[in-house]
Structure 1
Amino acid sequence: MQTVLITGANRSIGLETVKQLSKKGLFVYLGSRDLNKGQAIVKELSQNGFQNIRAVELDVTEPDTILAAKNTIENEQGKLDILINNAGISRGFPESALDTPTDEIRQVFETNYFGAINVTQIFLELLKKSESPRISNITSGLGSLNLHSDPNWKYYNVKLASYVPSKAALNAFTILLAYELKDLPFKVNAIDPGYTATDFNHFSGPGTVESAAAFIIKHTLTDENAPTGKFFSNDIEDGTEVSPW
């Protein structure tokens, strides 16, 4: 049975991804900053027929909690097959580059960028024990510098001083990570689930969490011939799904 860890998995797209992977027969570790909330969610899921889900306390900005989660998974499973770096925050809109305090920008980077690095580096040892390790960094089309430079892009005017560069940095980290792991059986990709209706954006997105989670899983549960170091988006209108960086 494959094992997967999803950070920030106690709600929205992360939680739906937990559900869908559980139905596919994977053992899912639901990462939650608040262990009690995570355990309550797992109990509810169990009552609704979902199996092989375990909550672990994990705050991506607190390395001690990441290490504790890693030790738990190592003791119980011996390895980790899939890491989905899903945890993320936003300061909201509007957010101007002219006057957004650097402390606020730094806070977003701590979760969206440095948090993903923290988790990846600590869990790399367990991932290397898998026969087909996968790392999926959940990003956004707003992290594409190419699209942000195109006045015809439908989200061209959504310029957020902390969220946009934090996701652009995560995309860059994805490229570097994929390159350094290219001689191993890793597949490392950035995945944009699309503009989805969640509490993250006050349910303003047109997409559903079901579609978003399915898209993440499609580009995570891949075979040995799948690409690595790519940026896939559920918002690409021509159906190619490969987003420009």
Structure 2
Amino acid sequence: MKKLELKEISKSFSTGGSDTKILNGINLHVNEGEFVSLIGPSGSGKTTLFHLIGGLIRPSSGQIVMEGSDVTGRKGLVSYMPQQASLLPWRTVEENVILARETAGLPKAESLVLAREWLAKVGLQGYEKEHPHVLSGGMQQRVSFLRALLSPQELMCLDEPFGALDALTREEMQHWLLKIWEQNKRSVLFITHSLEEALLLSDRIYLLSDKPSRIEREVIVPFERPRALTITEDPAFISMKRELINLMKSVGSGS
């Protein structure tokens, strides 16, 4: 089943009395239990797509469909993880984890039990009552991911969640995300600027052109699951990464 479909999505913004087109006829989908990545030049409208999917803005034209129903412009249907952890400093770690569930009206006591169970699973046992400032960047991102994972919405939109982390922490988080996702198989749409990260994590990759953006290429990632980080050393992986680099160069040059 297709969890999400974008059909001929276009978006323009009015600036200085003229319209600037950002997205131009985007068609993509995410199947149930599938991990799909979006890559493309900076400013190509990837985050704008997330705002459209989340109902924060409406497309100029086109349709957003979830599980067969038109949901264009509707809010509260996706679970979102931003680039920064965006934890509330006055709430404890466990209270941050359950925030989306609270907003959805789910019982707090039940949500806290679930949060404590998952915090233990991801190596944060003992931090439940702490506040975010005592956590490292990677630990804060784990809390942010759990908040998205435990929300009642099935589709997760992850907006370059590891971009602000140092290289070693980012690698640790990629390994952690692979392990957690492969246990749960939530439907994920993932923005990243890292081609290696996209290949490591994804079932499919959509490459966006420069704006006004369109889907330049859909790439099926052939590597079997479960995946280990050592797949990045495989000659087939390295070759595929090189192909993506060349595609990105051609998109960036407008050729």
Q: TM-score, normalised by structure 1?
A: 0.34
Structure that is richer in strand per residue: 2
Q: TM-score, normalised by structure 2?
A: 0.33
Structure that is richer in helix per residue: 1
Computing the radius of gyration from Cα coordinates, the structure with the larger value is 2
* Larger RCO, structures 1/2 (Cα 8 Å, 6+ apart): 2
